[in-house]
Structure 1
């Protein structure tokens, strides 16, 4: 299985090598993705207090199921950016505490799907044919063939609670064995279930009385803890068998023991327990030792292939996060599906550059501020149909603060972006416009900033930046009132000037004098809507005064309809002296330096 986190960001070793702590055995194939760039410390068998004392030096923590990542651990981990769980469940991680501190928690929701499904089917067959008891008695020298008559699974009914990826895989395998499958899952797609041959029911009461085998594939939440108790077991067939390769605690263990002892059900196949390993004399221990139970020590994901898969998956995500990219399975943020990731990645770069361009051009170049302003991200066209735009929100926050923060925005991620925006006094709203009539591009992103009139000394209440993606390339198509078409990368000099003969030559001479090379130049004129508005205003002014009027703008009497932006991509050091010299000629209204 290939890593599920990908990026266009270049890999370049840094003199400062972030440290990654691995306190459990994790497949070396995944760790190999990290060892060239980061210091990976494998320290197995750490006691809780040892983990707390060590964690302040690390930027990432990779665990499986044994290490308890408590609030105390997370609070001590002042440098932590990510906690990665090499597996599915995150019961051993205080996700709320991580979120409060802006730490991303990732897992591998798909790396062990096949392993978990196959183990479920293995337990199903083992309970049906009494494999556990038969093996034990034969090893003890007994021959109890007559007492161990089993049942066939073909033509029997399997009930599945939770028709997610593992549940669906189990369903398809069971159908292959000739079983009838019914499921209860309020979030399942009826169309997908129908295509797979699975019948959906709405309530447990419709499921439990009719199944011969029952398996549960849900996370352990408040709503699923002790989902099946005494009352539920009593509604099942006395010949029914239950399976659990999901999470201990979904079945109430005391109730399950009583159900087996009272004959409410005939058997169980259990791989997970509320405490692992089960404490002596606990309900979990009595359940594991029960003669009607086939018990395994949490082997659902214990295959060579699954361990490699989850290791590759989470290590790829750790790599991506430490490089400033996006995870694909953040537990404390919306899941980014691979197809969404591929679609969003270029737009994430675009929106981050738009935010950085805004801060450097409108704030740095004109003496304004971003705190207290209200921003709006407008998605038009195909992009408006993407449900999870959290990465775009985070990218905007990162771009807005990158040029004014000590970390360069590297501390912003999809988990803490909202908190950082709030701290900076930034308000961001998102608008989706699916209609694409009149839209030149498949998708268009617009960034609008609202503030008080005259805040930037130019009488403009609202600033606008438009951008689009073509292939893997990103472009800015509008900068404030000016129609443009340039790639937002590298060092840019943006001149707001009157479009008059000689301007380009004078700018070239200044840059040449200072040894600054021009890579590209783009002249952006006023957009048609602004030109019409200016023409209407001038017409009204002339009509009121009876004479033709030109608007005074501090550079002589010039027609504001002739304003333009000159956008230069340059190589070389652009100092304050260079910017001052560029702003000296008559007709130059403003000069800003943007580094992207």
Structure 2
């Protein structure tokens, strides 16, 4: 992807109020449109023109909206939860969804403690009473929190911060979280339990800090509230819907619970006469309008965080906090980035060069990616996997308009029946490069293993049935191809390339140049690739046998004619314009070329 400074300015839509500090980061290189107050129809109408969408919690990013957003590359949620975004649909469309899981942690934790103390000491009711001219000290006696037990469901970043603040108040803290680290819990003096049945009866105060998922929706309902001791209190500063609002209202009205503090609701703002509205009006409920992240500092933090990620994604880098992509550490991605570009080019080169005469489906569905040298030391190679799938699919007309990236590469590979085997070898003795990546395309054993709908209508020729090998390396950030099957070469995989397979005989270059000149095709560069008998590659047993590799990928026992003979060579020509099919045919018929393929990279 070109630098943002040189590329067409991307357009970013911001339909909700965000801190100006983050948006200022975008305005230097992006076109930012702040459009608060859009309704769903208006948003749907204008979204096709935008490359990025920045939202908070009010905007509903639905499947319909995402499908209409033909240019959209990233949805950024300025906050923690993403339940207002259809993440599954975004993943299928290759749209990165990012959030800011750390920007409002302190704000949410502090608000939890503020509500806990307000509820314990009747602060809201006392404030209302004294402003009404009353002095009701005896009626508004509260309870101390020191020595009480705070039970926490969800010991993530917010839950752990709440636990530490509660310990500072002298509270005992227990928690339920199957994914929590026992060591981290112990360092915060938190007692981990294994079930709600074990947690709830101990609680004087219960607080929830989990995302809203199918498994957490309504997780605290009638039966769970009944397990709480009489006179206990409950808080929700996480997500509306984790607590059954009707069950909570019943427990308050019965007197089983002494109080509740609620910052989030199933519908925001709650509809008049709804259960949530009745909860807000209840005298033993302290309610706030979703203020958990509403501090100046938190809004600045999350705005800067997500805006930085939007910039990174539009520049082609990986996000720090994608909810629908695997985490790749920045130091790993920095090492991988040149090879991401290389592997994508290798995949595209394979499809265009080796399957250029196929008009039907892509025949090979199994590929081996072999990493050698320094690049093999990087364990997380998901960006390289994604780059290969993108390279393989982009030249195919059926993938037009599909944004293939690390978000949806695995899903697309599974849908298309593409299998990629990755191998790592740190042994530098087999090649002269500090890092080497090889792509081995394996022929299916029979036609039924081909990918595509019309596999019975075309059968690959003997040349197409060979195993094919492309190897490459990077010189700094510059990708280089140094092997095409048995041919040793060195060229940059960029622009329009004409690859001619021919017998290495005097005058061949002149003939090819003459035919291209006749068609006003200018040659920018030329590389001649002879057959080499010393092109090693490591392949695990059972994938390719040694004879296949040493014979340039020819299928053992197959009649390959002169293919692979020592007299064969490749000409790789960089040309200034696309070469028409009739010109390629003329090279074969008039120029004595065995085959000619045109590749655009």
CA distance in 1, matches of 2:411, 2:311: 24
CA displacement 1:170-206 (0-9 Å, x = unmatched): 3344344444433212223334434444332211111
Match of 2:418, SS state, is strand
Cα distance change, pair 535–212 in 1 and its aligned pair in 2 (3 A): closer
How far did residue 274 of structure 1 move? Answer: 1.4
Q: Paired residue for 2:421? A: 431
Distance change in 2, residues 1:503/1:159 (3 Å): farther
Q: Distance in 1 between matches of 2:517 and 2:127?
A: 86
More moved, 570-579 vs 373-382: 570-579
TM-score (structure 1 length as normaliser) = 0.78
270 and 484 in structure 1: CA distance in 2 versus 1, 3 angstrom threshold? farther
- Per-residue Cα deviation, 1:521-550 (whole angstroms, up to 9, x for no partner): 77672445699849999xxxxxxxxxxxx9
Do the aligned partners of 1:359 and 1:370 also contact (CA within 8 Å) in 2?
no
After alignment, is 105-114 or 335-344 more displaced? Answer: 335-344
Matches for 1:143-542 after TM superposition, within 5 Å? 143-319=135-311, 326-334=318-326, 338=330, 341-342=333-334, 344-364=336-356, 371-378=362-369, 380=371, 391-405=383-397, 411-415=403-407, 417=409, 426-433=416-423, 436=426, 445-451=437-443, 455=460, 458=463, 460-467=465-472, 474-476=479-481, 478-482=483-487, 488-489=493-494, 494-496=499-501, 516-518=523-525, 525-528=532-535, 533=547
Q: How far apart are 1:143 and its partner, in Å?
A: 3.5
Aligned equivalents of 2:550 and 2:312: distance in 1?
52
Residue in structure 2 matching 1:31, options 23, 42, 52:
23
- Measured at CA, do residues 147 and 442 of structure 1 come closer, stay the same or move farther in structure 2, by a change above 3 Å? farther
Compared CA separation, residues 534 and 135, structure 1 to 2 (3 A): closer
Q: 1:519 to 1:534 in 2, by over 3 A?
A: closer
Q: Give a deviation string over 1:15-71, Cα, whole Å, max 9, x none.
A: 6x6544332212333334444555433222223333334444444433222223344
Name stretches of at least 5 consecutive residues in structure 2 with no aligned partner: 446-458, 538-544, 552-558
Q: CA, structure 1 residues 144+519, in 2 after alignment: closer, same or farther (shift >3 Å)?
A: farther
Q: Please name the residue that 1:3 is paired with.
A: none
Deviates more, 1:514-523 or 1:328-337: 514-523
Q: Residues of 2 paired with 1:147 and 1:452: CA distance?
A: 82
State the secondary structure of the residue aligned to 2:268. coil
Q: CA deviation at 1:511?
A: 9.5
Bigger CA drift: 428-437 or 402-411?
402-411
Q: 1:560 to 1:232 in 2, by over 3 A?
A: same
CA distance in 2, matches of 1:295, 1:536: 74
Contact persistence 2:60–2:85 (CA under 8 A): yes
Indicate conservation of the 8 Å contact 2:96/2:324, yes or no.
Answer: yes
Report the RMSD for the aligned CA atoms in angstroms.
4.5
Give the whole-Å Cα distance in 2 for the aligned partners of 1:574 and 1:192: 60
Secondary structure (helix, strand or coil) at the match of 1:412 reads coil
Task: Provide closer, same or farther for how the CA distance between residues 159 and 505 of structure 1 changes in structure 2, counting only shifts above 3 A.
Answer: farther
**Cα separation, 1, equivalents of 2:198 and 2:246:** 24
Give 5+ residue unaligned stretches, structure 1.
Answer: 1-7, 538-549
* Secondary structure of the corresponding residue to residue 525 of structure 1: coil
1:302-325 CA distances to partner (integer Å, 9 max, x unpaired)?
122322333334344444555665
Q: 1:473–1:369: structure 2 CA closer, same or farther, 3 Å change rule?
A: farther
How many angstroms apart in 1 are the aligned matches of 2:270 and 2:406? 37
Of 256-265 and 583-592, deviating more is: 583-592
**Which residue of 2 is the match for residue 553 of structure 1?**
562
Aligned length, in residue pairs? 568
1:355–1:397 contact (8 Å) kept in structure 2: yes
